[in-house]
Amino acid sequence: MAVSGEQRSVRDGVRDLLRGLPVFAGELPDFDPGAAPGDPAELFLEWFTTALDGGVAEPHAMTVATVDEAGEPSARVVIMKDFTPEGWWFATTTGSRKGRDLARNPNVALLFYWNGQGRQVRVRGRAELASPEQCAADYLARPLESRVAGLHGRQSEPLADPADVDRTAVEDRGRLERDPDLVPEDWGLYLVRPTEVEFWQADRDRRHTRLRYARTGTDAPWEQGLLWP
């Protein structure tokens, strides 16, 4: 069904528009769960490399979901900063909403979606704040404008005037020019140690393949099992 650009009313909904959009239109890769390694870290690296080599845009972008003190969830897309045998790494200020959420409740969920390959990787685990030395090293390795933004310290706070962002950036850039080794005290690097990792491979006939790795603790052995689509 062709999708037109005609004006639509929110009151009418977009159900018909959505039904006309293609799903899993690209060439989907093969996935044999019977040949999967015993450690999900190995399979994640294989899938990530395939996404990178296949030209998937920003394959290192991942959704991070946290919950606040009332148990209400928040989700946002961040950039994976590293991936090691211990887990997934990302950075933010400890005073941001996600930083405050993680200080109260370190349980976290991650999601990677690689469009065009019909693949998702879903992760559940606990986030740990890295050492001050590791946090500082992550900050200092960032491009200048990323470090400038990291100095603002106001993420998610109300903004009265958009021009305040530019003014603050000029001030913070000057601070870094005067002190290139400056690191904000609230810069945080987080490691997510997984307790569950699911690999989801799409199928055009909706017979999706889902392979889950689970363990009872971050030091326990992994167990594998298939899930119904």
State the catalytic residues: 206
Q: What angle do CA 55, 56, 62 make, to 5 degrees?
A: 150
Q: Is the dihedral of CA 86, 191, 45, 117 positive or negative?
A: positive
Q: Which residues of 80-94 are buried (b: 16+ CB within 10 A; e: fewer)?
A: bbeeeeebbbbbbbb
Contact 187, 131 (CB under 8 A): no
Rounded distance between C-alpha atoms, residue 98 and residue 103, angstroms: 9
CA distances from 88 to 79, 91, 109, 190 (A): 10, 11, 11, 8
